[in-house]
Amino acid sequence: MKTTELQISQEELIKGSLNKRRRRRYRGMGGPMPPVPLDGEPYQDRIARATEREREHRRVRLPEGDGACAAEGCAVGSRFKTSFYHDKTLLCGADVEPGFLNTPAAHHLKALTGNDLMTTEHKGSSMSDLLRGDFNILVTCNSRLMVKLQGDAEAWARRLLWVEFNQPKAAKPIHGFDTWLLRNKGSGILNWMLEGAVRLLAVLDAHEPFPLTAEQRERVNNLLSESDAARSFILTGVERSPFPLDCVTSTELFAAYLAFCDERGWSPLSQRAFEMKAKDLMVQIHRACPSKHVNREGAGSGQRGFQGVILKSSGGPEDDSREREGADEAF
């Protein structure tokens, strides 16, 4: 019996090899493929079966069930790792690194929560699936997470909900407090969560946005502004001047940026990183090109900075008028 199976396998192997050689020969001759291959099955039937398999494979599979899946920062944008998200509704990132949302792959989180269709691949296989991005994502971190906005702050503002844990540590911590809560207060916690779920579903059924308090909105907006602090500063702290002799040196611009961040309790960028960003932002927002020879009255040339702009906090109206008069006299 084993010999017969071995002989059949060898015959099938030889037949497949002949089929490959025959197809190569016909392609090399430039002629059409033979209507019936050596195994007797018409090519049209074989193509039809392959097309049906491809259609079945590419049908959209919506996530089902109440499963959860751990999402690591490096795996967010991986086409292989997203294949594990099938049949899940909650993705969890526990104690992520401070740069979790400040990486080029962070924009995939918007697709995973924006009801987008994505293609996932399985490692070691040529097959692929479609994945619907209607997940809930829970991320915890011990530090303040900065977001790589890439010019899409509104999309992040619609998706982010920041729950801040700022309570002081208990003087006498209870070991296994979570277990004690579930055992003694579990029914009350569950009822509280169900009551909130009912209220939320009523809001969503009315096609209204997710309810947020003014404090929650301010918290998210402040985080997004801090994530792009250089742009926020140049938008609000610098303005275009109609007088060409007005200028701001790079040193003055960075000092004003540091004061801007200190007033808001933000962590500033290094001087080199800020100046690299400021070059592009000043051109985009104020049409001010960087110069190595800014001209300022009373101070020699050769300073790096930007011509035709001023700092909004540089002085009051009287100081501005005096500078304008000095500029007119120079002409």
The string of DSSP codes covering 30-66 is: TPPPPSS-TTS--HHHHHHHHHHHHHHHHS-B---SS
Report, as ranges of residue numbers, the positions in the chain whose pLDDT lies below 50: 1-14, 18, 26-28, 36, 38, 55-68, 72-74, 80, 314-331
User: What's the pLDDT at 60?
Assistant: 34
Interior CA angle at 304 toward 300 and 309, to 5°? 95
Summarised one tens digit per residue, pLDDT across range 109-165 is 888 888 888 887 777 777 778 888 888 888 888 888 889 888 888 889 988 988 888
Q: What's the CATH number of domain 228-330, 1.10.760.10, 1.10.10.10, 3.40.50.10140, 3.40.50.720?
A: 1.10.10.10
DSSP notation for 113-176: HTT-EEEEE-TT-S-EEEEE---EEEE--SSPPP---TT-HHHHHHH-------PPPPSSPPTT
pLDDT of residue 231: 92
Residues facing 311 on adjacent strands = 238
What phi and psi, each to the nearest 5 degrees, are found at residue 121? -120, 150
CB of 126 within 8 A of CB of 140?
no
Query: How much is the pLDDT for 102?
Result: 86
pTM of full prediction above 0.85: no
**Count of other CB atoms within 10 angstroms of residue 220:** 19
The pLDDT score that the predictor gives to residue 203 is: 92
**Integer angstrom CA distances of residue 69 from 77, 86, 106, 118, 235:** 15, 9, 17, 17, 40
In whole angstroms, give the CA distance from residue 229 to residue 223: 9
The continuous run of DSSP H or E covering 92 comes out as: strand 88-93
pLDDT one-digit tens code per residue, 246-285:
889 998 999 999 999 999 989 898 999 999 999 999 999 9
